[in-house]
């Protein structure tokens, strides 16, 4: 890399949208978890709020696939960003990424977005609770506070299946060894024969939590992991009277693996919808393609496009990821999003097609 690459004058700052990035490093974290690091060919400062995620635009077996992953690196290392992915048995996307994504390969990402982040819920005392590969967003937060010498007291409690599954173990231990305001506790569900483990065993429970963070009721809690893990954590906290307005969790919901199949499915569902009086129908026009359609109340702009055979890229389907962002040229929509669009984008007329319902006739640039 030339020094000119890092010249601030030539450097752009990352903003929510579509970007082409290049995989520059693949790190084997554990036996089934890898970190993929990305940079842009033109210098870009990858600023984001620690805890946010990106959506990868992939093509697997000739099919478009969008999949969201939390950024595991910290914006304190801004010229690149990383995602950490566990290979899931039978998981089409994670296996494809492990087998195919290599150094030098380019791909498009959308983002960064996400409400689950360290910046929007500031606190001087935090408790990170993670299970398995759910460690990634809280690792990003911990790295950020560590690198920026923030006056934030962190207790990091990570649950792994077994000692060989602990992601980032050495880095976490190093952080805990170097600064007083970072306490680390690792819980292993079990350990194999001949596998030494002197730490906590089993599942996180109230006595463990009281030992690890006696003041946990005073902390802002960030939780990420498999759904049963998060359900159990939530129940534990509710039972002890924790103020749940200070509990934050990462929940992606179902992420459709195949944007095209999803569009077809929506179109089919729409075809079965009951008749609606013509006066209640709204016209949705896609200006670039010259196609338009009348939609029933409650139908989204994305569904309207799908009926016309137009595939607006989509990942989360719930207004989180920002993948389906399109420009609205005229008309009104009701957008029920979950943080997948910035106020600036909204002010410029952008909407998220997956969660925007026309209130009247609308014209879309697509």
Residue from 340, 351, 358, 364 in contact with ligand FES (CB under 6 A): 340
Q: Nearest approach, Cβ of 324 to ligand FES (angstroms)? A: 3
Q: Nearest approach, Cβ of 323 to ligand FES (angstroms)? A: 4
> By three-state DSSP, how is residue 97 classified?
helix
Number of Cβ within a 10 Å radius of residue 40: 21
- Which one, 163 or 340, has the nearer CB to ligand FES? 340
Q: Nearest approach, Cβ of 29 to ligand FES (angstroms)? A: 27
Residue 339 burial by Cβ neighbours in a 10 Å radius (0-12, 13-18, 19+):
middle
Regarding 34 and contact with ligand FES (CB under 6 A), the answer is no
The secondary structure of residue 212, as a DSSP letter, is H
What is the C-alpha to C-alpha distance for residues 341 and 111, in angstroms, rounded to an integer?
Answer: 9
- Which one, 43 or 64, has the nearer CB to ligand FES? 64
Regarding 328 and contact with ligand FES (CB under 6 A), the answer is no
Regarding 323 and contact with ligand FES (CB under 6 A), the answer is yes
Q: Nearest approach, Cβ of 132 to ligand FES (angstroms)? A: 23
> By three-state DSSP, how is residue 235 classified?
helix
Q: Give the residue closest to ligand FES by C-beta.
A: 354
Number of Cβ within a 10 Å radius of residue 255: 19
Residue from 317, 326, 335, 350 in contact with ligand FES (CB under 6 A): 317
Regarding 204 and contact with ligand FES (CB under 6 A), the answer is no
Q: What is the CA radius of gyration of the chain?
A: 22
Regarding 319 and contact with ligand FES (CB under 6 A), the answer is yes
- Which one, 80 or 338, has the nearer CB to ligand FES? 338
Main-chain phi, psi angles of 221, to 5 degrees = -105, 130
What is the C-alpha to C-alpha distance for residues 335 and 30, in angstroms, rounded to an integer?
Answer: 41
Residue from 139, 208, 237, 352 in contact with ligand FES (CB under 6 A): 352
Q: Which stretch binds ligand FES (CB under 6 A): 34-42, 177-185, 262-270, 318-326?
A: 318-326
Regarding 172 and contact with ligand FES (CB under 6 A), the answer is no
**Cβ-contact 131, 229 below 8 angstroms:** yes
Q: Nearest approach, Cβ of 340 to ligand FES (angstroms)? A: 4
What is the C-alpha to C-alpha distance for residues 45 and 76, in angstroms, rounded to an integer?
Answer: 10
Sign of CA dihedral 60, 61, 62, 64: negative
Q: Nearest approach, Cβ of 336 to ligand FES (angstroms)? A: 11
The separation between the first and the last C-alpha atoms of the chain, rounded to the nearest angstrom, is: 38
- What x-and-dash track marks residues 277-316 binding ligand FES by CB under 6 A? -------------------------------------xxx
Strand stretches in 193-339, DSSP E: 200-201, 220-224, 247-249, 282-286, 291-295, 325-330, 333-335
Tokens for 91? 């998981």
Size of site (CB under 6 A) for ligand FES: 13
Residue from 225, 322, 331, 358 in contact with ligand FES (CB under 6 A): 322
Regarding 112 and contact with ligand FES (CB under 6 A), the answer is no
Q: Which stretch binds ligand FES (CB under 6 A): 118-126, 207-215, 234-242, 322-330?
A: 322-330
What is the C-alpha to C-alpha distance for residues 86 and 13, in angstroms, rounded to an integer?
Answer: 29
Q: Which stretch binds ligand FES (CB under 6 A): 21-29, 153-161, 268-276, 317-325?
A: 317-325
> By three-state DSSP, how is residue 41 classified?
coil
* Antiparallel, parallel or unpaired: β 12-13 and 44-45: parallel
**Cβ-contact 247, 253 below 8 angstroms:** no
Residue from 284, 306, 324, 357 in contact with ligand FES (CB under 6 A): 324
- Which one, 139 or 310, has the nearer CB to ligand FES? 310
Interface with ligand FES by CB under 6 A: which residues? Answer: 314-317, 319-324, 340, 352, 354
């Amino acid at each position: 890399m030339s020094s000119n690459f890092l010249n601030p004058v030539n450097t752009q700052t990352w903003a929510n949208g579509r970007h082409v990035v290049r995989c520059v490093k693949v790190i084997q974290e554990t036996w089934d978890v890898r970190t993929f690091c990305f940079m842009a060919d033109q210098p870009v400062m990858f600023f984001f709020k620690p805890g946010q995620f990106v959506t990868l635009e992939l093509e697997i077996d000739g099919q478009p696939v969008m999949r969201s992953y939390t950024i595991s690196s910290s914006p304190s290392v801004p010229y690149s960003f990383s995602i950490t992915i566990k290979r899931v048995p039978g998981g089409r996307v994670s296996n494809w990424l492990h087998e195919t994504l290599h150094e030098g390969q380019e791909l498009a990402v959308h983002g960064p977005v996400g409400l689950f982040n360290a910046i929007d819920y500031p606190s001087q005392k935090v408790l990170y609770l993670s299970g398995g590969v759910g460690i990634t967003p809280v690792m990003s937060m911990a790295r950020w506070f560590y690198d920026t010498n923030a006056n934030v007291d962190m207790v990091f409690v990570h649950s792994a299946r077994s000692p060989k599954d602990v992601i980032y173990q050495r880095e976490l231990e190093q952080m805990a060894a170097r600064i007083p305001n970072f306490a680390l506790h690792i819980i292993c569900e079990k350990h194999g024969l001949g596998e030494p483990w002197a730490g906590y065993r089993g599942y996180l429970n109230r006595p463990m939590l009281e030992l690890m963070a006696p003041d946990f009721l005073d902390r802002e809690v960030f939780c990420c992991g498999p759904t049963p893990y998060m359900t159990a954590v939530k129940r534990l906290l509710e039972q002890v009277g924790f103020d749940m307005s200070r509990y934050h969790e990462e929940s992606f919901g179902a992420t459709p693996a195949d944007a095209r199949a999803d569009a077809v499915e929506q179109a089919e569902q729409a075809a079965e919808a009951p008749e609606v009086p013509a006066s209640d129908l709204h016209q949705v026009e896609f200006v670039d393609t010259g196609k338009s359609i009348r939609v029933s109340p409650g139908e989204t702009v994305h569904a309207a496009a799908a009926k016309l055979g137009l595939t607006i890229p989509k990942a989360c389907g719930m207004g989180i990821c920002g993948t389906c962002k399109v420009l609205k040229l005229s008309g009104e929509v009701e957008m029920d999003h979950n943080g997948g669009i910035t106020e600036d984008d909204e002010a410029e007329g952008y909407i998220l097609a997956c969660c925007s319902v026309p209130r009247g006739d609308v014209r879309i640039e697509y």
